[in-house]
Structures are given as C-alpha cells and as structure tokens.
A and B are shown apart, each in its own frame.
Chain A
Amino acid sequence: MEYLIHILIISGIYIILTLSLNLIVGYAGLAALGHIAFACVGAYTSSLLALNLGVSPWIGLIIGAIFASVLGAIVSFPSLRLKGDYLAIATFGLGVIVYSIAKNWVGLTRGPMGLPGIPAFKIFGYEINNVWAYLVLVLIFVVITYVVIRNITKSPFGRILTAVREDEIATEAMGKNVNKYKLIVFVVGAFFAGIAGSLYAHYITFIDPSSFTMMESIAVLLMVVFGGMASLGGSFIGASVLVIFPELLRFLGMPSSVAAPLRQMIYGLLLVILMIWRPQGLMGKYKFK
C-alpha cells in the first residue's frame, strides 16, 4: 500500500512539472528542453537552506521557487531571439549548465555525493513523514498549480499566449509585446517547477545531481506531448500514465535483467504508436507543424 501511495506522490510531482511545462511549450509554443533545471534549482535551494541555515522547508520552498523563476527569466532571453529547434538546443544547453553546477560545485552541493538527511515539512510541530500525509500535501500543490495555470490560460492573457505560439509576427502586428509574454511564461513555469523540485527533495530526503539529468527534462516533455499540448487534462493523464505504466511492468514476473530493458522498449513503442496514431497527444488540440 505504501508503495502505491509512493507512486501517486511521484505522479503528483510530475503532474506539477508537466502542467508548468505545458504552459511554456503547449500554450506559448516555446520549445523548452531544460525544465528539470528549474526543479533542480528549487530542490537544491530549499534543501541547502534547510540543512545549512535551518530555514523552514516551507520558506525554502518559496525561496527555491523564486530562484527557479529568476533562472526562468534568464532562460527566457534566448527565447526572445531563437525559435523552434534553436531554442530547444539553447534551453538544453542551459539545462546541462545547471546539472554541471550541481555536480561540480562540490563546496556547495557536495557534488555527486548528494545531500542526505533533508528535513521534512513540519506542520504544527509534526513532521509530515508518512506517505499519506505527504500525498495530501502534494495534492494540495497539484490543485494550486492547476488552478493558477488554468486561470492564466482561460483568459484574454492566455489567448495572447496561443497567439505567440501561432505567429509571433502577427502577434506583434496586433500591438502585443511578444517578449513580455515569453518572459512571464518562463517565470511562471519555472516557479512551479521549482516547487515540484522542492517537494521531491523534502519527500525523498536525499538529492543528488542524477535526479536532474537531461533525460528527466525529456521525460517531462514527453508527458506534455503524450497527454496533449495545450491541454491541462492531458497533462494529468500524460504524467500519471508515464509514471505508473513502467511501474506496472514490474509485476510481469520476469527476471529483472529482462524486465528493465523491456520496460524501456515498451515505453518507447508506446510513444511511437501514439505519435503515428495521434500526433497531438491523447487530449491535445495543437499539432506540431
């Protein structure tokens, strides 16, 4: 049972990542490939604040999210000049930089040794260290993320984001400052990714750079595309399916030497089939052009 709840908590964290990336990629159409870097900043900020300065994880979570937003603002600058594949490569590069810093700035992050013993969230003096309580906490953040991003997208402001995705030049011709919208989208997306990172760190109580590799960024992007670009419901499904599905394959009862690679292959095959059958994702409204 604990295992099942654990999977749900991880799904919840990925849902926050997927929703926030969907705002950037699905709505505003900015091909960003470094989303996990924001989670990395959030996770390390709140963990280090708690470990070194004894700052409450609640405050650390907020500060971590703000730091992630600052990085988001920085990442948005290449997006002002670069489009499509070029932006993907540039954001990929920034993701690599953040990973390298986490891995090599041993004095601060302890590098590959990671940070053990990250304290849990406390509420009225009680530590949230059982999985049920943590599930509730994660779900609260999932709801907050969902409501904020739904509000942003269901509004004239959100309509301008889709216009930026569809045609930047035409958006400018309508008197909209495209750069401003790109900046806001990256700041908001990074904020929630930072929260997700912090939630992960205080749940697992140990982080190291290997949790924030580029493969993770790609996995989150796959969840967005799988569930559907510009569909928030799709992000719930995409993140949940792609977290839970590989776990189900554990129960096929094969020796682990076969099961692990087979899981990866089935996972890959699933994505290939989906892209052929439904390129806009399960619930998406928007296709890559």
Chain B
Amino acid sequence: MLQIQNLYKEFDGIKAVDGLSFTVEDNSIVALVGPNGSGKTTVFNIISGFLKANKGRIIFDGNDIISLNPFKIARLGIGRTFQNIRLFPQISVLDNVLLGLKYETGHRFSSALFQTKRMKKEEADNIKKAEELLKFVGLAEKRDALAENLSHGQRKLLELARILALEPKIFLLDEPIAGLFPETKRTMFSLIKKLKASGKTISFIEHDLHSVMDIADKIIVLDHGKKIAEGTPEEIKQNKEVLKAYIGKDTL
C-alpha cells in the first residue's frame, strides 16, 4: 500500500530523516515509535506533502507521490491527523466533520452562487453522514458546540471523525493517544481496531513503546532519523538496539 524508499531530510545540516525505508502493508496497523526528535513526525509530514524530502521516493498504490501538493495527496487517499491537533476551532463540531466529507458538485462555487437543488440534497445527505460519524466517535451531543470548546480528548476524537469523513485508504495518525486519559486511550485504540476490521490501513506515531504492543501488527523503531528496528511486537521486545535507545527509560 505505502512504501517509503531511502528517504532523506535535512534541516540546516541536521539529519532529521536519514535513509529511511519501510513498508506499510494493506490492512495492517504499523506503529512508528521512537524517542523525541527521532524524525517520526517529519516522516508523516513528508508523506502527506507538507515537507519536501531532499531525497527518496514514496510509492502509494503504485505511484510516486513525493512531489505532489498536500491537497492532492489527501485526495489520493492518504488522510492524516496532527500531533498538536489541527481542528477548525471557531466553527461547529458538525461543520468540522462536514469539511472532511466528499461532495460531487455541492462544494463548487457555481453550486453556491445558484444554491442548486443538488447542492442542498448533497448537503442534507452529508449532514446525516457527519452525524453518524460523530455518533461513532461518541461526540453526537457536541454536534453544535464550537470545536474550540471541546476538551483535549474530545478534540482528538473529533479529529479522528473528520479524518474518517475523508475516507482515506490509509490513515496516518500522529500520536493519537498522547495526553489522553486511560479511558479515552482505550476508546481510541478500540476505534483504531474497528478501522482495521473494516479493511482500512493505519500507521500511527507514538513515543511510548509499551502502549503500542497490543495493537500494532508491525513496529518500526526510529532513532535520529534512522530505522533501528522493525518487526512484530514480539520481535521488538527482544531487540537489543531498541533497549539501548530506550535505556534507563523502559525495561521491557
């Protein structure tokens, strides 16, 4: 589904991503793990087109997408969330989800100008879809609240609902469980598992190795922009390199 090949990215001489290659298989959950500054978010930013790599290829569904604009990459079916949560704060929760949904013609300038019947029908259908998605993540009662008035956990869930609305083929979730209460964390993980069960592919970033053990099919451990280990949770647990990178922090 997604292949990262020999990716390099430098910031003012600092190698943020240093010759990274990995593959995200169809219908799997791949966790990108590593200490702070190991280049995880940079990799996501490059895949989604917000950063340009110095070198390397990103093959998605057989096409190299490395030179495309972010909005084109999103349209091809790569949906992402952000580490610091990027919602549309001063508009409603429902509108946030509607912005992820696809319109055939209703989003066009001409549809707006002439207030076409088709636009109104599409809008009504999409509102129903958006309400279902809000129900799915458990935010149905918050429908009309402004996004900025949600709690941290609710904002994470809303960001997930919005990315679900986009119906991407692969979900790139940047620290989906960071800063969540244990209960919301469980909700988030069960939603991710449900996504996989429905045939989706997920890759997510997390810096805590423990938390990803029971959910990931494959774990990729990064350190200073390099891949130091790749494998199933069982294999990672026994990997000496990983223990070294995390030394003094975790004993697995």
Q: Interface on A for B, CB 8 Å cutoff?
A: 148, 151-152, 154-160, 162-163, 166-167, 169-178, 184, 285-287
Residues of B close to A160: CB separation below 8 A: 99, 107
Query: Are the C-beta atoms of A157 and B112 separated by less than 8 Å?
Result: yes
Q: Find the A residue at minimum CB distance from B90.
A: A286
Residues of B close to A175: CB separation below 8 A: 71-72, 74-75, 166
**Leading 5 A-B pairs by shortest Cβ distance:** A155-B112, A166-B88, A175-B74, A157-B112, A170-B86
Docked pose: A287 CA to B90 CA in angstroms:
8
Let me know if B119 is at the binding interface, CB within 8 A: yes
Beyond A154-B115, A171-B99, list 5 extra A-B contacts (CB 8 Å).
A155-B112, A156-B123, A157-B109, A170-B88, A174-B99
Residues of A close to B119: CB separation below 8 A: 155-156
Query: Are the C-beta atoms of A162 and B91 separated by less than 8 Å?
Result: yes
Query: Are the C-beta atoms of B115 and A155 separated by less than 8 Å?
Result: yes
Query: Are the C-beta atoms of A167 and B112 separated by less than 8 Å?
Result: no
Query: Are the C-beta atoms of B74 and A174 separated by less than 8 Å?
Result: yes
User: B106 CB to closest chain A CB, in angstroms?
Assistant: 5
- 15 CB contacts below 8 A, A to B, read A156-B98, A156-B111, A156-B119, A157-B107, A157-B112, A166-B87, A166-B89, A166-B90, A169-B82, A171-B99, A174-B71, A174-B166, A175-B74, A175-B75, A176-B71
Docked pose: A167 CA to B81 CA in angstroms:
13
Let me know if B69 is at the binding interface, CB within 8 A: yes
Query: Are the C-beta atoms of A159 and B90 separated by less than 8 Å?
Result: no
User: B246 CB to closest chain A CB, in angstroms?
Assistant: 31
The winner among B86, B98, B112, B113 for most chain A CB atoms within 10 A is B112
Query: Are the C-beta atoms of A152 and B113 separated by less than 8 Å?
Result: yes
Query: Are the C-beta atoms of B71 and A158 separated by less than 8 Å?
Result: no
Q: Find the B residue at minimum CB distance from A148.
A: B113
B98 interface neighbour in A148, A154, A159, Cβ under 8 Å: A159
Residues of B close to A156: CB separation below 8 A: 98, 103, 106-107, 111-112, 119, 122-123, 126
Residues of B close to A163: CB separation below 8 A: 88, 91, 99
Residues 116 to 141 of chain B near chain A (Cβ within 8 Å): 119, 122-123, 126
Let me know if B100 is at the binding interface, CB within 8 A: yes
Contact flag A173-B48 (CB < 8 Å), given A155-B119, A167-B88, A285-B90: yes
Let me know if B181 is at the binding interface, CB within 8 A: no
Residues of B close to A176: CB separation below 8 A: 71, 99
Let me know if B22 is at the binding interface, CB within 8 A: no
User: B203 CB to closest chain A CB, in angstroms?
Assistant: 15
User: A281 CB to closest chain B CB, in angstroms?
Assistant: 14
Docked pose: A175 CA to B89 CA in angstroms:
18
Let me know if B57 is at the binding interface, CB within 8 A: no
The winner among A173, A175, A176 for most chain B CB atoms within 10 A is A173
Let me know if B162 is at the binding interface, CB within 8 A: yes
B109 interface neighbour in A172, A173, A184, Cβ under 8 Å: A184
Let me know if B35 is at the binding interface, CB within 8 A: no
Residues of B close to A170: CB separation below 8 A: 82, 86-88
User: A144 CB to closest chain B CB, in angstroms?
Assistant: 12
Residues of B close to A169: CB separation below 8 A: 50, 70, 82, 86
Residues of A close to B72: CB separation below 8 A: 175
Q: Find the B residue at minimum CB distance from A178.
A: B71
Contact flag A167-B113 (CB < 8 Å), given A174-B166, A175-B74, A177-B71: no
Query: Are the C-beta atoms of A155 and B111 separated by less than 8 Å?
Result: yes
Let me know if B249 is at the binding interface, CB within 8 A: no
Residues of B close to A171: CB separation below 8 A: 88, 99
Let me know if B79 is at the binding interface, CB within 8 A: yes
Let me know if B114 is at the binding interface, CB within 8 A: yes
Docked pose: A215 CA to B68 CA in angstroms:
42
The winner among A158, A166, A286 for most chain B CB atoms within 10 A is A166
Residues of A close to B95: CB separation below 8 A: 159, 162
Docked pose: A173 CA to B100 CA in angstroms:
9
Residues of B close to A184: CB separation below 8 A: 109
Residues 195 to 246 of chain B near chain A (Cβ within 8 Å): none
Residues of B close to A172: CB separation below 8 A: 50, 69-71, 74
Docked pose: A152 CA to B99 CA in angstroms:
16
Residues of A close to B80: CB separation below 8 A: 173
Residues 149 to 197 of chain B near chain A (Cβ within 8 Å): 162, 166
The winner among A159, A162, A169 for most chain B CB atoms within 10 A is A159
User: A50 CB to closest chain B CB, in angstroms?
Assistant: 29
Query: Are the C-beta atoms of B109 and A167 separated by less than 8 Å?
Result: no
Residues 43 to 91 of chain B near chain A (Cβ within 8 Å): 48, 50, 69-72, 74-75, 79-80, 82, 86-91
Contact flag A173-B79 (CB < 8 Å), given A155-B115, A156-B107, A156-B119: yes
Query: Are the C-beta atoms of A151 and B114 separated by less than 8 Å?
Result: yes
B70 interface neighbour in A158, A173, A286, A287, Cβ under 8 Å: A173
Docked pose: A178 CA to B74 CA in angstroms:
13
User: A249 CB to closest chain B CB, in angstroms?
Assistant: 35
Residues of A close to B106: CB separation below 8 A: 155-156
